[in-house]
Chain A
Amino acid sequence: MSEFDRVSGLLDDYRAKKLSRRGLMARAAALGIGASAVGSLVARESAVAARQDAPTPGGMLREGYDLDFSRMDPVATTWYDPAFYSLFETVAIDSPEGDLEPMLAESWEISEDGKQVTFKIHEGAKFHSGRAVDAPAIKEVYDAIKNPDNGSPLAVLFTPVESIEAPDATTLVLKMSNPYYEVMNVVKTGYWAIVNIATRDANKETFGQSIVDGTGPFSFKEWVPGSHVEVTKWAEYPGSIVPYYTNKGPAYLDGIKWTAILEGAQRAVQIENGEIDTLRNPLLQDVARLQGNPDLTVQSYSEPSGYIFGQNFERTDLDFHEVKMRQAISHAIDRNAIVKALLFDLGSPLFGPITPADKYYDKEVEQFNQYDVEAAKALVAELGWTPNADGILEKNGVKMAFNLTVQDESFNRDLGSVIQAQLKEIGMDVTVETLDRGSYFGKLSEGTDSYLFYYLWAVPIDVVILFVGTATKGAPNWGRASVPAVDDAIKAWQTAGNEEELVAAGNQFQMSIAETLPTIPVVVRNTVWVNRPNVRGWLPHAYDIYPHYNDVWLAQ
């Protein structure tokens, strides 16, 4: 009997209620199937069961969130949070299987030369304020993103888009200066979520803080920074055309409240105590305990994110502009040990810029950046650095001593401390500088010796480009990196006219980063979602960074 058959058999017993959740976990463990894998299967089962059960309308979903909230203005925010997925919609959406599906656009067509995308906008959608969502309304959003005055942080991803036209109410045309197949992966993300620009323009100071006008199934209630965001059911929601949603009409829930639980250890405790119904990212050291709790379902999978370690190319006195120096630093980092000790095996080493779970991942990157202290020492020696009496590297009277700026968060602090210790092994004296979020980004923009950064983005290559390309030198290319081979690869990615060209460009990009290291990839963590058994229809999945709430209901 294959493992698949055994798992299927267990799940059949579970569905038939011959086996409790605790029994399922125990039997699965006896078969050598990880709790995480079973958790995902059980979650999927619950979602399927939820579709079969009759949903009960009403109730407030309480979700714990591991970060503080950002402004709910897709055009200008620097980060977006789960509330976005209740308030806003995009033209297209990723299904749990990773396929692009319609959301506000019924369909789209990419021209043969890859230079034009024509969307057919679904009729009937409207904003919370009552305005119809038509092609001109979406054009206004995309124009706002392109307008530098609005400070859209990823507007550069729309650079190839020369014009946005809305010849009629249901047709939206993006015309590009060059083939840009990737544009579909751009417009499905939260920064391209559709808001009512008229409301936004009329409320410039307060939009996203106390006023939100989106198209999602929930309307904004309140945001208390540092505490929570709350939304309420929008009874007039005209419905959704997303194929994978079971519920095409208004939401089942009366509302959702996301609470920022910034003290890491508290997150697991709160879901164990039933103070919240769902949770994003407990501390990884708490995951095994939560997986052993029969009242909870835990899902864990590699998220489209990464921790990167950047050096300031302008510190030429430290040879950070030299590829050999960056390779030496990279060889000194023991990524596998970090995954084991700090991520509790809930993550992967990064030898290239993107997670191994990504569909564009190129395994060839693993020939680079392996842990090799002797190779690291040889590389710094080739550049003329020799250890002084204290074991610290010196060259021309300059000591290899520099700051590592990290954002104040427990994992960041631990990772900073590990990198500090590992670089000491090759004679580098690193001072970890821990800063709160505001000061951290201020320091990065003003210029720092080196930094640790965590990114999260549905299509990782799109965002990594911003940290390494010459075009974004300064911010968010905080290391002021400029590597011609990387710029060439970025150009190939941004001019790919079809999927094949995109894959080839993706490989070229990954290999150029892995070899020349404009930023040093370190590790990727798993995202972990936990829910209590009363939560039905809630289905986080690896192809989107947060779950959607249309199908969610609370069992009594």
Chain B
Amino acid sequence: MSNAATPAPFVTSAGTGAPRGPLRVAWSRLSANKLAMVGAIVALLYIVVGIAGPWFTPYDYAKQDLMHANLPPLSPGHILGTDQVGRDMFSRLVLGIRISLVIGFGVTIVSMVIGTIAGSVAGYYRGAIDTVISGIVEITWGFPLVLIAVILSGSVGRGLLAVVLAIGFVNWAGFARIMRGEVLSLREAEYVQAARATGTPDARILVRHILPNAIAPALVMGSYYVALAIIVEAGLSFIGLGAQAPLPSLGVMVAEGRNYMLQNHWVTTVPGVAILIIVLALNLLGDGLRDILDPRLRNR
């Protein structure tokens, strides 16, 4: 009975009248959005490069060749040139993409899980629990990210761990906030009340009936947060709090090249453009997902 009470937002009829699954519907809508498709393809390409690329790079990312420093792109053996200490830019870029993606997706997934649980509990139970969780969310939301990163660097040391913890510490609150709002409205829905009246446990109601209908905005938000996490990681690495030498995150590469901008601009522009492209792609994908998942925009 509880299953029957749950709306199925993606189940619809095609022109033939044959029933279509939600994934097929989503794919159909996504593929109709050209910009979102471009975003998805580029993001997929980055993921492939991030996963497989380091196995195919021509050089060790840390291998220096001081006698061949600052070679421009398209130099023999170095398609993207070399940096100020003669490291191959292509090999470093590929690993930098992997690091940025791992941080972007990793932090966002963990933040989403924590934020979703916290927001759902706050929205479902309301009262004192809501007050406490919402209070924590508000306090967390008010912390400057850089300050947290500095504090964490002091305690766990500079490096990617501090960056992951700093971004995760703040980002979960965004998910909690949005999930709380969704759950607050859905908890009064008839099918939820019916499930409650039949004695279905709260955890089951939350997981089986409310979450599937409340998660869409969080997923959309997630795509933006991946992009945000990549930018924040780049920013924190730029000021020296992120990846430590010789590990090349994209932000570290931009930082390392900034003093050579007027002589060897590629040391900075290559990773800078890489950040620009992935962030743009993820935002386009996020816009497409929002169009698909938000019923108010679906028929525009």
Contact = CB atoms under 8 A, between A and B. Distances in A.
Nearest to A435: B158
B244 A432 contact: yes
A463 interface: no
Interface in A418-437: 418, 420-422, 424, 431-432, 434
A341 B66 contact: yes
Nearest to B244: A432
Contacts of A413: 245, 256
B263 A285 contact: yes
A434 B240 contact: yes
A174 to B, nearest CB: 46
Contacts of B240: 408, 434
A144 B19 CA distance: 93
B276 interface: no
B260 interface: yes
A286 interface: yes
Contacts of A342: 66, 84-85
Given A341-B85, A342-B84, A342-B85, A418 B260 contact: no
Contact of B67 (A264, A268, A337, A422): A337
Contacts of B261: 265
B62 A410 contact: no
A264 B245 contact: no
Contacts of A341: 66-67, 69-70, 84-86
Given A420-B245, A420-B246, A424-B62, A289 B67 contact: no
Contacts of A434: 158, 240, 244-245
Interface in B205-263: 240, 244-246, 256, 258-263
Interface in B62-111: 62-64, 66-67, 69-70, 84-86
A104 B53 CA distance: 68
A421 B64 CA distance: 7
Contacts of B244: 431-432, 434
B259 A285 contact: yes
Contact of B85 (A289, A410, A421): A421
Interface string A482-523: 000000000000000000000000000000000000000000
A334 interface: yes
Contacts of B63: 421
Interface residues of A, number: 27
A410 B69 CA distance: 16
A417 interface: yes
B85 A265 contact: no
B160 to A, nearest CB: 14
Contacts of A418: 64, 66, 85
Interface in B114-137: none
A341 B67 CA distance: 7
B260 A285 contact: yes
B194 to A, nearest CB: 60
A417 B92 CA distance: 14
A283 B259 CA distance: 8
B62 A337 contact: no
Contacts of B263: 285-286, 289
Nearest to B62: A421
A109 interface: no
Contacts of B64: 417-418, 421-422
B63 to A, nearest CB: 7
Interface string A123-134: 000000000000
A14 B85 CA distance: 40
A347 interface: no
A265 B245 contact: no
Given A420-B246, A432-B245, 17 more contacts: A265-B262, A285-B259, A289-B263, A334-B66, A341-B86, A342-B66, A408-B240, A410-B259, A413-B245, A414-B84, A414-B85, A417-B85, A418-B85, A421-B62, A421-B64, A421-B85, A424-B62
6 contacts: A285-B260, A289-B263, A337-B67, A414-B84, A414-B85, A417-B245
Q: What 7 A-B pairs are tightest by C-beta distance, nearest first? A: A337-B66, A341-B66, A341-B69, A421-B64, A417-B245, A264-B259, A265-B259
